[in-house]
């Protein structure tokens, strides 16, 4: 039995990339999937057999996770992409984006794109604020930093996310293998703003990436106030030394988080953006309570 990864769906068939030779093969699905109701997903590791010039998926190996939007399995990490020049993404949006991703994935690479049009001092400042993460300053246009990023994507499934216009698709384009880049771009849906089909793209150097369309708003309606700190690792780490176990680092006395903000160990903007999400989540909760009464 051969092993591969489902990279896309095309009208009843799936495209599988073989795990040993990296070749693409169009596969049918066994009828059993329809009976058991197990719907294969992009990202699934499968066992398949060859039947003539096609393949047939025989089984889906256990998934280690499933993302809901986009619906894809076995994602290892997220790549959160930003730009602080054109567009100038405010840090509040950077923090909301990272926090939102953290609800489902803990491994996050932060990419600051367009450093060709960003002042060096601004890049350094950004790196400092986000030093709790691996930060990759890159320029998709010049190719700066792309090879370092590539190393961190090898042999993994990475989903790209971030606001519109920051250069997600441009970065992915520079990561693709040469044949895909010059070849049939339309086939992969790449480069169009209307990308809707979920498909994994194999990158040079190994690994798969998933492009997603940019978004404008991020909501936090689905979490509890005390959970917000888990979306800010440096705040959550510091919380263990707060006087109260249930401290959410707002008005409580003996708050270690606030001490670290005072001393500059935790960036002020990170703390403020944490507080604004916390308050939003609280208001939301109270709103629900009001409605119930």
Ligand X SMILES: Nc1nc2c(ncn2[C@@H]2O[C@H](COP(=O)(O)OP(=O)(O)OP(=O)(O)O)[C@@H](O)[C@H]2O)c(=O)[nH]1
| Chain residues that interact with ligand X, rule: CB under 6 A | 113-114, 116-117, 139-141, 164-170, 193, 213-214
Task: Give the whole-angstrom CA distance, residue 215 versus residue 196.
Answer: 13
Task: Give the whole-angstrom CA distance, residue 230 versus residue 281.
Answer: 14
CB 10 within 8 A of CB 24: no
**83 contributes a contact to Mg ion by CB under 5 A:** no
Give the number of other CB atoms < 10 A from CB of residue 63.
Answer: 13
Residue 99's binding partner among ligand X, Mg ion, Zn ion, none (Cβ under 5 to 8 angstroms by kind) is: none
Work out which of 255, 266, 277, 281 binds Zn ion, going by CB under 5 A.
255
**188 contributes a contact to Mg ion by CB under 5 A:** no
Among residues 143, 149, 142, which one has the least CA distance to residue 110?
149
x/- mask, Mg ion, residues 228-267, rule CB under 5 A, reads ----------------------------------------
Sign of the torsion formed by the C-alpha atoms of 108, 211, 6 and 18: negative
How many residues touch Zn ion under the rule CB under 5 A: the total is: 5
Return the number of the residue (78 or 228) whose C-beta is nearest ligand X: 78
**Helix boundaries (H) for 161-254:** 168-175, 178-182, 233-239
Return the number of the residue (116 or 226) whose C-beta is nearest ligand X: 116
Return the number of the residue (59 or 195) whose C-beta is nearest ligand X: 195
Return the number of the residue (169 or 229) whose C-beta is nearest Mg ion: 169
CB 281 within 8 A of CB 99: no
The residues that touch Mg ion, with contacts defined as CB under 5 A, are: 168-169
């Amino acid at each position: 039995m051969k092993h591969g990864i489902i990279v896309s769906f095309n009208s009843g068939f799936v495209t599988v990339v073989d795990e040993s030779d990296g070749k693409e093969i169009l596969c049918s699905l066994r009828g059993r999937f329809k009976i058991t109701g197990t719907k294969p997903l992009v990202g699934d590791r499968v066992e398949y057999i060859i039947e003539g010039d096609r393949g047939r998926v025989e089984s889906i190996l256990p998934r280690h996770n499933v993302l809901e939007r986009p619906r894809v399995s076995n994602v290892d990490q997220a790549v959160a992409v930003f730009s602080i020049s054109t567009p100038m993404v405010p840090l509040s949006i950077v923090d909301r984006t990272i926090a939102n991703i953290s609800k489902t994935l803990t491994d996050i690479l932060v990419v600051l794109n367009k450093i060709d049009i960003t002042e060096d001092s601004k890049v350094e400042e950004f790196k400092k604020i986000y030093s709790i993460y691996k930060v990759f300053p890159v320029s998709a246009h010049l190719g700066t930093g792309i090879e370092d990023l590539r190393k961190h994507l090898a042999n993994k499934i990475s989903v790209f996310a971030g606001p519109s216009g920051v250069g997600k698709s441009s970065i992915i384009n520079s990561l693709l293998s040469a044949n895909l880049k010059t070849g049939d771009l339309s086939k992969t849906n790449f480069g169009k703003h209307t990308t809707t089909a979920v498909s994994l793209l194999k990158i040079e150097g190994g690994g798969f990436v998933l492009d997603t369309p940019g978004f404008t708003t991020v909501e936090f309606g689905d979490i509890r106030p005390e959970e917000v700190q888990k979306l800010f690792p440096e705040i959550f780490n510091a919380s263990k030394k707060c006087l109260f176990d249930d401290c959410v680092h707002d008005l409580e006395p003996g708050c270690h988080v606030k001490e670290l903000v005072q001393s500059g160990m935790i960036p002020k903007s990170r703390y403020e953006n944490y507080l604004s999400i916390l308050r939003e989540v609280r208001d939301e909760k109270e709103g629900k309570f009001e409605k119930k009464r």
